[in-house]
Amino acid sequence: MSLRKQIIYRILGSALCILIFGCALAIWQARKSVLKEVDASSHLALQLIALSLDNNGVFLQGNDLSHFRTLQQTRHLSIQIKKPDGQIIQFTGDNKPSRPADMPPAWFIKLVQSDYPSVSHQLKTQNGEILTLLIQAQPLDEISEVWEETIRFLSLILGLTLLTFIVVSLALNKSLKSIAVIVKTLRHIENGNYEQKLPPFAIQEFDSIANALNHMMEELDKTRQENRALTQHSLSIQEDERQRLSQELHDELGQSLTAIKVMAVTLAHPKAEHKNISESIVNICNHLMLVVRSMMQQLHPLVLTELGLKACLEDLIQHWSERNPDLNFIIDCDERVDNIDKNIAIQIFRVIQECLTNVIRHAQASEVTIRLTIIAQHIAELNLSISDNGLGCDLVNHQPGFGLLGMKERIKSLNGEISFASAPKQGMRVNVKIPL
């Protein structure tokens, strides 16, 4: 069910409950009002009649009953005098209840009307005649008045409910239009279109959502461009690596194998100098072994597979120390790193290799510290810290190169976190956390 239908149904249900409660309240109030009015009229009539009696209950006006005509204005009552001979004198009301022209419906009369007691009172004239005073309620006129008030009350409730429904509908339509715009933009995001931005909204909540989505699209577009550039760079490096390996195979292996072949052919000659030729072949084979080992080290460090990450890092540091004697390397490596997963080990090695390359190329540092430890908490975690005392940089205005992007992607592939901290003249610090 759509949001519009859910809200409309709930508003209609609430309005219906309000109307039912209002009807019940109006009927209860009308019933109470009619009873109160009839009771007040009955008491008023009795008080007026009591004023015409002396202390012994005898009429002060003798046998004249004309003063009862003053009770004709008493509302909602039928007042009668019954003489001893059975004659009935009607002073107010009539034998049948009055029926107004705008008679309320029968169900309303039935709900509002209650049992009104009839009053019978014995009176005595000065000549000793006993009269019977009969007072009966006739609330139909009052019920008609209450019916009109109830209609006005319910009309007011209905009008307010209708007004509320219209206002809510207008606000809902505006909100749904905003939601439709957001959904349309999300579909563009789903299709990889991050260029279309959400407009500002008058409603604060929708405007916050729009700002968050616009920021998300900017980050997604930026990440997509970085990934695209990183992919192109990786492909370019791969092609360069293949070209370099092909060149080395051609220059080193090709020439060396050709020389060995020529020497082997020469050995078949009877006058060949076998000793010199054999030494040359051995020297060429030794050179080939160094070339192949160097190529294998570039493709994948064999020490890492054979001896573990710690030994591989020590070998890497020794290699860089020989080539950069002015740079002091400090390494603190936990021996337990040799037990981590091989995929994590090779990625950590490549990150350290890239960091050392950046230090030597750009930092102009005199000292580099590498710390690799394992923290055993609820979840074991591998922590890597690489810091130098070089030039540093302003990371806010610094555009990261492919090396930093590559390190980020390597760590993200391991569900880890990588952070960079640097400032001009304060060196660079790289922190890596990887769950094991």
> Within 10 Å of residue 91's Cβ, how many Cβ atoms?
21
What DSSP state is assigned to residue 166?
Answer: H
Asked if 162 and 308 sit in the same domain, the reply is no
| Residue 404 counted as domain residue | yes
pLDDT of the residue at 95:
43
| Residue 199 counted as domain residue | no
Instruction: Select from 167, 186, 210 the last residue of a domain.
Output: 167
CA dist., res. 364 & res. 345, Å (int): 28
What DSSP state is assigned to residue 203?
Answer: S
pLDDT of the residue at 96:
46
Domain count, the chain: 2
Asked if 13 and 157 sit in the same domain, the reply is yes
Asked if 163 and 309 sit in the same domain, the reply is no
- Residue 54's alpha-carbon distances to 57, 60, 62, 129, in angstroms, are 5, 6, 11, 15
Instruction: Select from 110, 144, 167 the last residue of a domain.
Output: 167
Cα 243-249-253 angle, rounded to 5 deg: 170
Q: 372, 363, 361, 351: which is closest to 390 by C-alpha?
A: 363
Instruction: Select from 132, 167, 202 the last residue of a domain.
Output: 167
CA dist., res. 136 & res. 117, Å (int): 7
pTM: 0.48
pLDDT of the residue at 431:
92
Ordered mean pLDDT values, 10 residues apiece, the chain (436 residues): 75 82 82 75 66 54 51 59 68 51 74 70 68 69 77 83 82 80 82 80 83 85 78 72 74 79 79 78 83 73 78 86 87 86 87 87 87 83 90 75 79 87 87 89
Give the CATH number, domain containing residue 424. 3.30.565.10
Rg (CA), the chain: 53
| Residue 195 counted as domain residue | no
pLDDT (tens digit per residue) in 183-194: 888 887 877 777
| Residue 76 counted as domain residue | yes
CB–CB of 109/91 below 8 Å?
A: no
- Name the strand (E) or helix (H) holding 314: helix 309-323
Beta-carbon contacts of 313 under 8 Å, excluding residues fewer than 6 positions away, are: 331, 333, 349, 352, 370, 372
Q: Within a 13 Å sphere around the CA of 226, how many CA atoms are in the beta-carbon half?
A: 17
| Residue 203 counted as domain residue | no
pLDDT of the residue at 371:
92
CA dist., res. 48 & res. 72, Å (int): 12
| Residue 426 counted as domain residue | yes
| Displacement of CA 30 from its chain's centroid (Å) | 49
| Residue 230 counted as domain residue | no
Asked if 308 and 159 sit in the same domain, the reply is no
| Residue 158 counted as domain residue | yes
CA dist., res. 41 & res. 57, Å (int): 21
Per the structure, the complete domain to which residue 81 belongs is given by: 3-167
| DSSP output for 26-68 | HHHHHHHHHHHHHHHHHHHHHHHHHTTB-TTSBBTTTT--GGG
CA dist., res. 362 & res. 367, Å (int): 13
Token match 């020297």: residue?
Answer: 283
CB–CB of 349/316 below 8 Å?
A: yes
pLDDT (tens digit per residue) in 310-339: 888 888 888 888 888 888 989 888 888 888
